[in-house]
Structure 1
């Protein structure tokens, strides 16, 4: 944005429709476009041009303008960086040097000679990644029930074939992560539930991640969580995920339910730990 002052002889130019060979007071010459601020008075002109990445835009005056001066010049910029989601966390520093004057990066006209021919900008950029999980209150106590609940099973004499519970959680993620499973009781490659007599049945655990999280470029839907970590070694955000809901799926499938009914135990219990780990 520039404020151009010193147009004391502006009255001499009012006989002309325009001061410029081409262009106008308000419209920016192409390939520039108008910014949010542009005005003029009898003695000054303030304008803001949006400049392209490459190219030159300028207005050429019909007359010499006596005592012309730039009262001030401001600039704004849009910084283009690599995808921050793919950058390692840390502080990045570096300078950018621009030339000022005729033919330079900042060129305000052939007769406008700067006192300093270069402008150096020092940039300091900090990349901080986020990985956070929020479990709603009570979400760490998971009770497995049949479809429709226990009352429907008892009253309607439904055949019990599956016990399950879906537990939601909220996720913040700007970095890749892996998920792991840890069990108080191991049954094969997953966790187990146990009765007072020590009889064990397997409980399956799976995860559905919110939109924006992918595995090998695909959405993550009911991905099994296994003790060996297979299939959950690398989840990657395609965009910043900010407090989006995901789901942990817990279930005892048909064979396990049949075993539980055969044993006739009143209670099976166990401890399952789900780990979100950014060290991938």
Structure 2
């Protein structure tokens, strides 16, 4: 949570103050982090921080940016012979969850839910066998993927061990190799070093709160399950638990330039017309600049030692006359209201219940904004009395609060 409080002592002639800122199951952890990058303010996406395993770890050159793989400690063994010209499910068949599947991740503190989408886009393993197979058992080398799967890039091994990897298009269904000669059960045909590659679609981090989100996605393994290798090749585990952890590390920082904690409310052109000619000013005002860095939603409201109905006030300690100071804010490009509209001279009011919410369209890094202080003509006329000296002051606190939930 980020909460920035900017406190000012206000005066009609001087503002002073300070600013403070199941059966067998396999579990795999998947992690992703969002941390705003000043060098890439428009790149507002999670970074997958899950260590590469399996194919992409062994052959990174074949995994483009955004492709990740997981190694699974699951072994598949044949429980029956594979016969020549077999039906698809009676041989070497691979059907993966190449469709998009959703998992809900929950914020540790607030309980707010977000959705992550995932699909498997590649499958790999190494088949092993106790004795070499004769030539012509398969229609082609296992480096060549059967349709609808696609070539994965690498195949290697020996007569006893052959590693392969196939790309899997979305909603591909099954990819199967057909044997043209028998493979007896006694040869112990098996798959080991199983792994898959995947794609993730993560939520918009700019709409998420700082903190950690967690969730679990389950994939079943076995005949007619999510990972289905047919009716002959059975797994030694039947469940994959994917433990998702998404970490959001937002930035919310406001910098006031040196001297910005002392603000004088003055008329247009200064006080000379009033002092020399007795001409009352129509308004008193001051624009105070600041720089803001933000990758998160935030609320803003006022706190003050002399609160009015909606606005803060200043008071002359001698006459006890008080005046309302209207405070509004202009935010830089990239920070909008909840309707996506630019923020120009948006009024700020007293109290949490009157807080305004602002959203980043992209990461804003040290962009300039303005706090507009103004006393309306009615109060200016009320404050200034010929021949009567007065000094109005008050304490304002401007609160930036990212604890939205």
Question: Which residue among 348, 352, 365 is the counterpart of 1:225?
Answer: 348
Aligned to 2:397: 273
* Correspondence 1:56 to 2:173: yes
Q: Distance in 2 between matches of 1:63 and 1:221?
A: 74
Deviation at 1:243, TM superposition (A): 5.1
Aligned to 2:155: 40
Aligned to 1:73: 194
Superposition pairs for residues 1-280 of structure 1, below 5 Å? 1-5=123-127, 12=135, 19=140, 25=143, 29-30=147-148, 38-41=153-156, 43=158, 44-50=162-168, 52=170, 54-61=171-178, 63-64=180-181, 69-78=190-199, 85=207, 92-94=214-216, 96-116=217-237, 118-121=238-241, 123=243, 125=245, 132-138=252-258, 139-145=260-266, 150=270, 161-162=282-283, 163-170=285-292, 172=294, 174=296, 178-186=299-307, 189-195=310-316, 197-198=318-319, 199-209=321-331, 211-215=334-338, 218-227=341-350, 232-233=354-355, 235=357, 237=359, 245=367, 246-257=369-380, 263=386, 265=389, 268-277=392-401, 278=403
Deviation at 1:89, TM superposition (A): 6.8
Q: Report 1 or 2 for greater relative contact order, CA contacts < 8 Å, sequence distance ≥ 6.
A: 2
CA deviation map 1:227-260 (0-9, x unaligned): 3667x44526476756564543222344445556
SS at the partner of 1:189?
coil
In structure 1, runs of 5+ residues without a counterpart are none
- Structure-2-length-normalised TM-score: 0.48
Q: Distance in 1 between matches of 2:364 and 2:271?
A: 38
Q: Distance in 2 between matches of 1:275 and 1:29?
A: 60
After superposition, the Cα gap between the structure-2 partners of 1:90 and 1:189, relative to the gap in structure 1 and judged at 3 Å, is same
**Pairs aligned (count):** 262
In the alignment, is the contact (CA less than 8 A) between 2:288 and 2:371 conserved in 1?
yes
After superposition, the Cα gap between the structure-2 partners of 1:190 and 1:121, relative to the gap in structure 1 and judged at 3 Å, is same
Aligned to 2:95: none
SS at the partner of 2:349?
coil
Note the aligned Cα RMSD (angstroms). 4.8
- Structure-1-length-normalised TM-score: 0.64
Deviation at 1:181, TM superposition (A): 1.8
